[in-house]
Chain A
């Protein structure tokens, strides 16, 4: 009981630290790929301190509540996510619960942006929703394949089985599903070539357009949580989780650096190009993967 309470307090803090570290690392690695020196690793922390000390204006009650809703949603998902062997709520919920609560984060930002009443926010939110329509089709097929193959909806059990039988991305029934998840990962993370919803040059950073001061700091924290969640989900489902948090962290780091390399070299898709891509190759691969998983099972 006591360990459970400690884990419930500790795991969001750990997720936040890792997410913010990833944000700093992203800026540093991007700079090195551009042949620049880059900012210090703790630059996001410096920015956040500055933002919390800055004055800010609220645009209404929903503007405040929306961002809190998305933060709470992300924290709850973190509690269901196994991190090494640490998973505070492993006996309850599972993949379906994670899928449902993951929707709260973009929804909260959309609510908050609606009160902001800036046309750029509306465009950004609609782009974000269209993009999520694009990547959720293959994502659902991938998760269905995983659930069919392991005959469970509990993510902790999926990790446990992989601990004894090996990673699922190199086991042949789930190979195609894993590749498909890897292909849609940039869209889930919102990095290039899929940063259409927060394009600074086109629509003034979209949903973030009216955020400043502590609101922007909270949005940055939320972004850090989203980074952690989407990478941790991939590591848990396809890279076999890990026996201890350190190995888990190393696996997350590898996946993230892979994503950053895509981010550094690709230009931005237009929205219809993104949908065309997402509904073609990843969907096809994940559909084949689901069929294979079904065939192996029967």
Chain B
């Protein structure tokens, strides 16, 4: 740890602790998960930056969406994202979650992931090198420092938009909304 950061630690402990303890959830969403084992093991040791994989969404605060997102995976991704505790950060890994990538005309994949869940940052490439994950982590540190890694707040504020998109892709969702939806309130007022 850097010694001239000690003042920062006393000033903003929550922010600094969020920065240096990013626990990523084990969730194999696509082909990019192949790049993650070298990152967490001996070759590129991510643990020296405090990034380790954890087993459940409850313990995690970093969600790596690695590679293409099929419609079936999207359901699991949304449920996992909603189970994570705030503050939580999401990073889209590879070009497929950005705009569909090589699956741009597939009938079964999601083209723009940020329509369904909010994303803090992207790593472009097909596939990105494992080093790209470290670049993403350092960018995420900068964003957290400036208070710009606020995708989870966007999700809360625009939940209606996200929920509508999710229902368009998946049909009727079998889980209740995470936050109260304005249109629900309106129907209650009318009826």
Chain A residues with CB under 8 Å of chain B are 27, 31, 34-40, 42-43, 46-47, 49-50, 53-57, 120, 200-201, 204-205, 208-213, 216
Contact = CB atoms under 8 A, between A and B. Distances in A.
Interface string B13-36: 110111011010010000000000
A56 B83 CA distance: 10
29 contacts: A31-B45, A34-B42, A36-B41, A36-B47, A36-B48, A37-B48, A38-B48, A39-B50, A40-B48, A42-B1, A47-B23, A49-B14, A50-B18, A50-B61, A53-B18, A54-B85, A54-B87, A56-B85, A200-B54, A200-B55, A201-B26, A204-B56, A205-B55, A205-B56, A208-B56, A208-B59, A209-B56, A209-B58, A212-B59
B21 A47 contact: yes
A31 B1 contact: no
A185 B57 CA distance: 31
B20 A46 contact: yes
A210 B58 contact: yes
Nearest to B84: A212
B42 A36 contact: yes
A87 to B, nearest CB: 35
B58 A49 contact: no
A54 B86 contact: yes
A36 B18 contact: no
B45 A37 contact: yes
Given A57-B85, A204-B55, A39 B17 contact: no
B21 to A, nearest CB: 4
Interface string B47-68: 1101010111111010000000
Interface string B63-96: 0000000000000000000001111000000000
Query: 3 tightest CB-CB pairs across the interface, nearest first?
Result: A212-B58, A50-B17, A36-B45
Nearest to B57: A212
Given A37-B45, A38-B45, A209 B55 contact: yes
Contact of A46 (B21, B48, B86, B87): B21
Contacts, number: 88
Contacts of B47: 27, 31, 36, 38-39
Which secondary structure characterizes the binding site on chain A? loop
B128 to A, nearest CB: 22
Given A43-B21, A54-B61, A201-B55, 9 more contacts: A37-B45, A37-B48, A53-B14, A54-B85, A209-B55, A212-B56, A212-B58, A212-B59, A212-B84
Contact of B85 (A39, A43, A200, A213): A213
A208 to B, nearest CB: 7
Nearest to A118: B56
Nearest to A211: B58
Contact of A205 (B1, B52, B54): B54
Nearest to B22: A50
A50 to B, nearest CB: 4
Contacts of B84: 212
A21 to B, nearest CB: 16
A188 B87 CA distance: 35
Contact of B50 (A37, A46, A211, A216): A46
B85 A34 contact: no
A49 B17 contact: yes
A185 B82 CA distance: 39
Contacts of A31: 45, 47-48
Contacts of B85: 54-57, 212-213
